[in-house]
Structure 1
Amino acid sequence: MAERGVTPQVEWPARTDTSLSLNRMGTFDWNLDSGQMHLDTTAFEVLDLRPEEFTGTPDGLRVRLVPGEEIRLDARVAQALKAGRSHYGAYVRSRGRDGSPGWTHVQGRILRDPRGHPYRIIGIIRDAAHDPGEPGAAGERDEGRRRMTGVVERTTAILAHARTVNDVTDVLKDPEALGHLGAVSVMLGVVDGGRIHLVAEGQLGAYVPEIEYTRIDAPLPMSEAVRTLRPVYLGSREEFQDRYPGLWPYIEPLSVRSGVYLPLIAQGRPVGALGLLYTREGDFDAEERNVLMALGSGIAQSLQRAILFEQEHDLAEGLQKAMLPRRIPEVAGALIAVRYRAARMGRDIGGDWYDVVPLGGGRVGVMIGDVEGHDTDAAAVMGQLRIALRAYIAEGHTPGTAMARASAFLRDLETERFATCTYAQIDLTSGMAQLVRAGHLDPVVRRGDGSCHRVRVAGGLPLGLAAHEPGAAGAPDASAATGTGYPVTSLELHPGDTLLLCTDGLTERPGGDLDTGMSELMEAVRSGPADVEELADVLCELVGDSGGGDDMALLLLRRRGTPLPRGGGPLRHRLTPGDPDAPAMARHLIRAAAAAWGARGQADEIELAADELMTNALVHTDGVGAVSMRLTPEGRIRIEVDDTSSALPQRREADDWAVSGRGLMLVDRLADTWGVEPRGGGKCVWCEFAIPGGPDGAGEPGEPGGPHQESGAGHGGAVAGSPLPPREPGAV
């Protein structure tokens, strides 16, 4: 009988190394502590790797693995080590020296020391191309199906949490998300009008720059997919070159052999396109195409949702910014910084606001507030409430009265929303501040020496809530005590002190309580820079990306340090009708203060002008008034007379025999400027004198370039900067 010479002679029974070699099973030994790996001869044959090419570490195997497979294999090993298992196994796609595809099975046994620390892995590497029912041969399709289906499931689950376009692109660029598809380049384009905007690329840096913006009618595969609403499959490099010559120069230097461009369709219209490029060659079968279409459908829904969220957020943020003050006025005697940061998610814009209201005479009102809710309606209500409160303050109402009227205004809107607010009215000359709080956070004061503390401001109900509503227990007592329901707390700000007002978006922390956020805020204020703009930036960075669920408003006011002359504090004296001694005492105090403030030579004019204003208030009004005198930040002496009459004063032409009508004429002649300001239920008539040699006293009154020329009101008087109206009954 003829011998079959092609059959090798093998001793019986076969040795272990012979059995492994005949079945193309090699071995490896991996020292985890040193990182060194040993391969036997058969392992080199299975991997089609030459011994001199091997680096002696696991990285040396990567040259024979399909891109992306090494990531999966590393993850399988790491998972086994972390879980404390003794074995692991994985099928990976490999390629021969000539680029031919194949399958390799890796299986390892993990050795651990008595403490459980892994120090060595001993295993086998075998050729799995002919495994029945497994990867390779007939099993390759089953493994590919499981792998790609798993990618779709994992990617869809991750994209379910994506709320912005950046979230979607981060998923696509994550190797763990789409790397199992085997794509070496992943591109995402978003339809923007008649163009496609390429917003993301990822995977191994094999980005194909199809220009950041391309027209939908351009001869490019991504444009064609969007234009026709059908996927574009390219099975070879020749197809790239023949069908898209404009793209070929970018593909040619890459190891790309196939690709697919999927239209991302949501609600019947294209919202973008997804491009995937592969090193494999050949067309995509029906099952692969179905899986890719399912993947594209999931990405399209997530992308459309992210685009809608961003559009709604932009709309709400635009509305919010339109409702906030367009600019913050400069206020003499103070440095003011404001910040607003919108919520990051969808329409969660909120109703936070701030405002600064110059009140004249060295006074300023600052406020901060938060309307309940996180939507465009909250922003709209905020705008109405801010303007209403600003109007009440500008009319001259006291802080408590202005807050009470704003609360009634919000109730009249019938929005079923409430708002919290803090308002501070500050006299920058004296440093005295009056604060009212409506269910809001207490303000914080940082002193000039760096110390920091919260100001316990007596509070009333949030705006929009009536005292009789549920949860308003105790409010009637407060209302009876204050007359408005919003008691006033006094505070003195020294030169260099900083007042901080903020909303709870600055103190809230995900998973933490309000006290933790407030403690962090206090520490940041205490250790932060003195400059209000720099401090505002530091406080905004304190929240960073840990917030995002709520918007945030911040206002900082720092009183400038302007030393006053001796006796330079404000003077205030009560005027009661029927009290004959009150005007005389006021005149004596005014003359003494004028002399102490360096205006001894003008004491007669100052006293006479003040006497005329006091007489007008006592003779022509019924309410109790007051006269005050102070130095303004510009270095002028300002006299103010308050009364409870809303009738405005008028200049009259008095004949030679008239016994009245000359009061305002004298004030107009004597003072550098004068005017009238509304004060809630009454008014304030004021006049100012420049001190010779002071900041505003370089020229004599009436000379060009002197304070007379710079005055906004000017001689002749004004009501809030407007000409005097026609004469009314009761006017002087």
Structure 2
Amino acid sequence: MAGRRRTETGLEERLALNRVGTFEWDLTEETLDLDAAALAVFDIAPDAYDGRPEFLLSRVAPEEGARLGAAAMTAIHTGRSSFGAYFRVRRRDGEQRWTQLRGRVLRDESGTPLRVVGIVRDADADRALLAMTSPVQLAGWQRMTTVLQGTADALSRAMTVDDVTAVLTGAGGLERFGADGLVLGLVEGDALQLVALAGESASVLDELKLHRLDESLPLAEAVMTQRPRFVTSLRELADTFPRLGPYAKRLDLDAAAFLPLVAQARSVGGLALLFRGRDEFTAEDRDLCLGLAGIVAQSLQRAILFDGERDLATGLQSAMLPRHIPKFPGVEIAARYHAAGSGREVGGDWYDVIPLPRRRIGIVVGDVEGHDTQAAAVMGQLRIALRAFAGEGHPPSTVIARASRFLAELDTDRFATCTYAQVDPGTGDIRAIRAGHMEPVLRHADGRVSTPPVRGGLPLGLATEFEQEEYPETRLDLLPGETFVLFTDGLVEHPGRDITAGVKALTEAVRNGPVEACAIAEHLSEQVSQARPTTDDVALLVLRRDLDPGTPLAPRIHQYLHPADPQGLAETRTALREALEDWGFAAVEDDVKVAAGELMVNALLHTDGGAVITLEVLPGPVRRVRLWVKDRSNVLPRRRTPGEAATSGRGLLLVNAVADCWGVEPRGDGKAVWCEFAEPEPEPGTETELEPGSEPPGGRA
């Protein structure tokens, strides 16, 4: 025995062998140092720990973390020198093990807490000891855990400060705390802003909505000192806080717990729980109140950060969008932007309205890939570049090709989609291009809604990378009273729903919604708000061409005949018939329909696009009605004499036969064929005596 050497075992090794680790929590620097043994107790890899107390929450259930935090806060803010608690740690493999923590609070000469030092140990072997705990104590732990867990679950879905206050003051809020009243205040500079009041008589405190952060009121004092105050007589408390006196008498409540809301050693607000008929606060009651305050403080800190980030993100995005939409004669334009419903993330969606040469308008809606500040920065640069290219008067194909080249040359790997269109308000001519973007929606004057097939190419940036910068244009006719809607995919794409269903819902909303552009934009925006929170930004632009009904003496209608719409001819004939009857031209109805049929068929057979049909009354000594058929072909029609076996060539002969006069006018990129029909003179002997002051059928010329 004398020759056997005893092996010396160091303190750290002895603690580690017994699965005991040490920690040091710096309350000023907000850091929590764990030694290797403590990391092993929490089952945390040394290179994975960042030294922040919040990191440990991933290893502890929320309700137990709140109970542990309540024990620590009670010791820190009530002057106790030590505290301890049992809780369960969830290991990386999912196993839960009991753990014990013991801590000692170290203070300076004035009593201000500076650090907490202590030990954590694996206490899973203490289950038998825990099982022998008294039923009363176990029931108290179970009640505390239930309340804390319910509060943590309810607040886990609260994203904003408004969400937090809704949980605290909404249905079941006071019942959850066992309170009869509640007051929630937030620190704003050197003031305390009361943001929530609940309870029958708590409204009397509305006069104190904003007051200085001083010691004149108990809640403000608790926030300043970070120490809770429990009182069982509000009227006696008024002797200490005279400013509370007038309100204590009107509150009709007895006891109160004034709790500081402290997160990361900083007071973010205060919570007052008000009670009726309570004459004491047991140690369990105090721990429960502090645990609730800890959960509320963490939720509020997260919500305040979220609101701040949202304000920053939406402010950044708004600063890069047009400050206002310019007004143009002949059209009404409205635009809306909605940010995504997630924290700091800001998207690259944008819209723009650009004045162009020759009184035309450029409209664009686009989306840069990604949801971060880089996407917003790229969007700002791309929007300015596209606006410059368009303002130079280039055709849409050139504008989009140059925008793609510009994006490809930026020091970024982002691409962008967009729809760009040039609009002539005077004629309704639209030249549109899509670059990997959603097709627009068109609402017709009669309420029908369609998605015109606008051709396009690859997204901006990718088109240049793959050397495919040729963007074909699509020509559309926007008739008076019709509406053109551009949007980004955030309006129709939602998690768990097919995008086709989203487009269908959008078309239904446009069909059943209001008529004016601003009203349509607001109507669609309300649907976006109802679907919050969304995961993507939304940019929306609505352009509506002003109605052109003419005047009471010279009314006018417009119809668009699409080449792929087999019902278009019949619908147009019906519209012409109804208008002629309303205007008192039923006598020339057959002649007008014959001429219209021939001209419409010619436009469909001999041109690439559709045709615009206009019927209008020309007032004068002899009232006439004029029919216009406009198409996009520069080839002028000519009258010819067909042979006996010919199957075509008789259209203009028929028009010449039924119309009083007709002609052809060049119109920009196309032409307009017109013909006129005079109101027939009444046959001799058919004139009737008119009452004084009355007018003939069809109105007075």
Q: Partners in 2 of 1:416 and 1:257 — Cα distance? A: 64
Deviations 1:164-200 (A, max 9, x none): 0011111211453551432111111110111111111
Candidates 379, 382, 385, aligned match of 2:382? 385
8 Å contact kept, 2:345–2:372: yes
Aligned to 1:359: 356
Q: Partners in 2 of 1:357 and 1:180 — Cα distance? A: 56
Candidates 426, 432, 438, aligned match of 2:435? 438
Aligned to 2:159: 163
Aligned to 1:485: 470
8 Å contact kept, 2:234–2:256: no
The structure-2 alpha-carbon separation of the partners of 1:364 and 1:254, relative to structure 1 and needing over 3 Å to count, comes to closer
- Establish whether residue 148 from structure 1 lines up as the match of residue 144 from structure 2: yes
Most deviating of 175-184 and 298-307: 175-184
How much has 1:491 moved relative to structure 2? 1.0
Identity of aligned residues (%): 50
How much has 1:442 moved relative to structure 2? 0.1
Candidates 528, 534, 557, aligned match of 2:519? 534
How much has 1:281 moved relative to structure 2? 3.3
| Letter of the 1:192 counterpart | E
Aligned to 2:505: 520
The structure-2 alpha-carbon separation of the partners of 1:205 and 1:437, relative to structure 1 and needing over 3 Å to count, comes to farther
How much has 1:373 moved relative to structure 2? 2.0
- Establish whether residue 551 from structure 1 lines up as the match of residue 546 from structure 2: no
Matches within 5 A, 1:281-680: 281-466=278-463, 479=468, 484-549=469-534, 550-561=536-547
Deviations 1:318-340 (A, max 9, x none): 11111011111111221111112
Q: Aligned with 2:290: secondary structure?
A: helix
How much has 1:139 moved relative to structure 2? 7.3
Q: Partners in 2 of 1:239 and 1:371 — Cα distance? A: 63
Deviations 1:549-586 (A, max 9, x none): 22211111112345899xxxxxxxxxxxxxxxxxxxxx
8 Å contact kept, 2:158–2:303: yes
Q: Partners in 1 of 2:235 and 2:328 — Cα distance? A: 72
Structure 1: tracts of 5 or more residues without a match: 1-137, 470-475, 566-732
| Letter of the 1:164 counterpart | T
**TM-score for the superposition, normalised by structure 2:** 0.56
Deviations 1:18-47 (A, max 9, x none): xxxxxxxxxxxxxxxxxxxxxxxxxxxxxx
Q: Partners in 1 of 2:427 and 2:238 — Cα distance? A: 81
CA RMSD of aligned residues (A): 2.4
Q: Partners in 2 of 1:291 and 1:219 — Cα distance? A: 26
Q: Aligned with 1:246: secondary structure?
A: helix
Q: Partners in 1 of 2:240 and 2:410 — Cα distance? A: 64
Number of residues paired by the alignment?
A: 417
Q: Aligned with 1:445: secondary structure?
A: strand
Aligned to 1:51: none
8 Å contact kept, 1:190–1:272: yes
Aligned to 2:676: none
Q: Partners in 1 of 2:506 and 2:176 — Cα distance? A: 45
Aligned to 2:194: 198
Q: Partners in 1 of 2:249 and 2:142 — Cα distance? A: 32
8 Å contact kept, 2:140–2:284: no
| Letter of the 2:366 counterpart | G
Deviations 1:506-556 (A, max 9, x none): 223443221112111111211222211112111212233214322211111
The structure-2 alpha-carbon separation of the partners of 1:325 and 1:333, relative to structure 1 and needing over 3 Å to count, comes to same
Q: Partners in 2 of 1:238 and 1:534 — Cα distance? A: 55
Q: Partners in 2 of 1:268 and 1:385 — Cα distance? A: 44
Q: Partners in 2 of 1:276 and 1:290 — Cα distance? A: 14
Structure 2: tracts of 5 or more residues without a match: 1-133, 555-701
Matches within 5 A, 1:179-218: 179-204=175-200, 206-209=202-205, 211-218=208-215
Q: Partners in 1 of 2:143 and 2:166 — Cα distance? A: 21
How much has 1:141 moved relative to structure 2? 6.8
| Letter of the 2:504 counterpart | S
Q: Aligned with 2:356: secondary structure?
A: strand
The structure-2 alpha-carbon separation of the partners of 1:219 and 1:457, relative to structure 1 and needing over 3 Å to count, comes to same
Aligned to 2:670: none
How much has 1:493 moved relative to structure 2? 1.4
| Letter of the 2:284 counterpart | E
Q: Aligned with 1:327: secondary structure?
A: coil
Q: Aligned with 1:252: secondary structure?
A: helix
Q: Aligned with 2:383: secondary structure?
A: helix
How much has 1:436 moved relative to structure 2? 0.7
Q: Partners in 2 of 1:378 and 1:290 — Cα distance? A: 47
- Establish whether residue 256 from structure 1 lines up as the match of residue 250 from structure 2: no
Aligned to 2:666: none
The structure-2 alpha-carbon separation of the partners of 1:351 and 1:487, relative to structure 1 and needing over 3 Å to count, comes to same
8 Å contact kept, 1:265–1:271: yes
8 Å contact kept, 1:262–1:274: yes
Deviations 1:600-651 (A, max 9, x none): xxxxxxxxxxxxxxxxxxxxxxxxxxxxxxxxxxxxxxxxxxxxxxxxxxxx
How much has 1:300 moved relative to structure 2? 0.9
| Letter of the 1:272 counterpart | G
Aligned to 1:569: none
